Structures are given as C-alpha cells and as structure tokens.
Amino acid sequence: MFSRTNLIVFGTLVLLFVALGDRILPDPLGSASATTRKTLNQALVNLFPTFRPPLDPHERTEDAIQQQQRRPNP
C-alpha cells in the first residue's frame, strides 16, 4: 500500500494540485487549490521570522561620537 512508487505518484499529484490546480481544475477544486497554496505559503513564511537587530547600528555610532565629543580634551 505505501510502496515507494505510490508515494512518489501521490507526492507528484499533490504538488501538481497545489501548483496548477486553480488554472486547470474547475471552480470548486480550483479555489481549493488556490486556498491550499496560500495557506502553505503563509505557513512557510511564518517559519522564518523577520530579523530585527536589537539596536540601530547608526544610532550606536552616533552615541559613541557624542560621548567622545563630550569628553574634555587635555
């Protein structure tokens, strides 16, 4: 039942359904394919959160320059 060939065929059919279903299949299945693709896309995007540095590097440099200028020169 779960032979390698069957899994390859099933996987290929699922990929084709998600990739091309809304263009090829009639309306009820086409809209289901588009919804499935949008859901999978959002799930994959949410796996990798956006990177936000803890501190703005320009702000850090500006603070260092201001501190240097505040120091009295001997």
Alpha-carbon torsion angle 7, 8, 10, 15, nearest 10: 140
- pLDDT tens figures, 27-68: 899 999 999 999 999 998 888 878 776 777 788 888 889 998
pLDDT for 35 equals 95
pLDDT for 61 equals 86
More confident residue, 2 or 18: 18
**What's the rounded Cα separation, in Å, for the pair 27 and 33?**
10
Domain boundaries, the chain: 4-70
**What's the rounded Cα separation, in Å, for the pair 18 and 22?**
8
pLDDT for 74 equals 62
